[in-house]
């Protein structure tokens, strides 16, 4: 069964806008990770947040983790066309179904 | 530093045949994981190997098997292929195995089409 579930399944925004994707999981975790997949660079690790962390930043990415609600969110600020991709949360070794993000120029 | 290398990149097989896919991890990475990706089921975990031992296994039938060699290279085999086995098979390597922070570096994948 899927450990992580993302929503929305698909998201379409304009360049410059922020994009928020959410992930829920079912069991206790040590950490949660987010990955991105696009046709050009394949599946790439973005950021890891440990279970004792509540928020983490990396460039234009901000990840939050709420272990009481078993949920995480990924915020991409000031989106660019190059951010168009599918985004997956993962709780080792299980990946969620992903959110397809389209950033329109 | 070379990335994760998967071969072959594309292959076409017919039902009933078997296939072997190969994965060379990043130098120094001892853990190799395999995933199946399809439009309908997303990324499904197949198995993970560490130091030539299968340490974790997903919910796939016994037709799916794998192994890891002493140089950390890994192969997976699918026997008696079915149409539903058509998928992108992704291999990932990592430094830390198990319940630690297992950050995966993925290869480009092997796209299998079963006719």
Say if residue B80 is exposed, middle or buried (CB neighbours under 10 Å; 0-12, 13-18, 19+): exposed
Closest CA to B81 of B16, B29, B23, B25: B16
Residue B97 has pLDDT above 60, yes or no: no
Residue B88 has pLDDT above 50, yes or no: yes
B108 in contact with chain A, both atoms CB, cutoff 8 A? yes
Chain A interface test: which of B103, B105, B108 (most A C-beta within 10 Å): B103
Over the stretch A20-60, which tens digit does the pLDDT of each residue have? 999 999 989 999 999 999 987 789 999 999 999 999 999 99
Residue B99 has pLDDT above 60, yes or no: no
Using an 8 Å CB-CB cutoff, list chain A residues near B58: 93
- Range B46-70 average pLDDT: 96
- Range B64-73 average pLDDT: 97
Tell me if A4 sits within 8 A of A91, measured CB to CB.
yes
Q: What are phi and psi of B7, to 5 degrees?
A: -140, 150
Over the stretch A57-102, which tens digit does the pLDDT of each residue have? 999 999 999 999 999 999 999 999 999 999 999 998 999 999 999 9
CB contact under 8 A, A93 and B58: yes
- Range B31-55 average pLDDT: 94
Chain B interface test: which of A58, A65, A93 (most B C-beta within 10 Å): A93
CB contact under 8 A, A30 and B58: no
């Amino acid at each position: 069964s899927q450990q992580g579930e993302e929503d929305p399944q698909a998201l379409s925004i304009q360049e410059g806008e922020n994009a928020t994707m959410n992930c829920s999981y079912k069991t206790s975790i040590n950490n949660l990770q987010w990955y991105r997949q696009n046709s050009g660079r394949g599946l790439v690790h973005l950021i890891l947040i440990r279970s004792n962390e509540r928020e983490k930043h990396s460039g234009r990415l901000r990840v939050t983790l709420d272990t009481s609600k078993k949920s995480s969110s990924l915020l991409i600020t000031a989106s660019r066309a190059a951010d168009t991709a599918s985004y997956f949360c993962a709780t080792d070794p299980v990946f969620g179904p992903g959110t397809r993000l389209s950033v329109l120029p | 530093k070379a990335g994760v290398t998967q071969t072959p990149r594309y292959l076409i097989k017919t039902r009933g045949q078997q296939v072997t896919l190969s994965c060379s991890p990043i130098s120094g990475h001892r853990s190799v994981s395999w995933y199946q990706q399809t439009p309908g089921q997303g990324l499904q975990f197949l198995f993970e190997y560490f130091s030539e031992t299968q340490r974790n296994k997903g919910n796939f039938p016994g037709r799916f098997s794998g192994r890891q060699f002493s140089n950390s290279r890994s192969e997976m085999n699918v026997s008696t292929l079915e149409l539903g086995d058509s998928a992108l098979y992704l291999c990932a390597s990592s430094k830390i195995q198990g319940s630690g922070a297992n950050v995966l570096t993925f290869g480009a994948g092997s796209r299998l089409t079963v006719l």
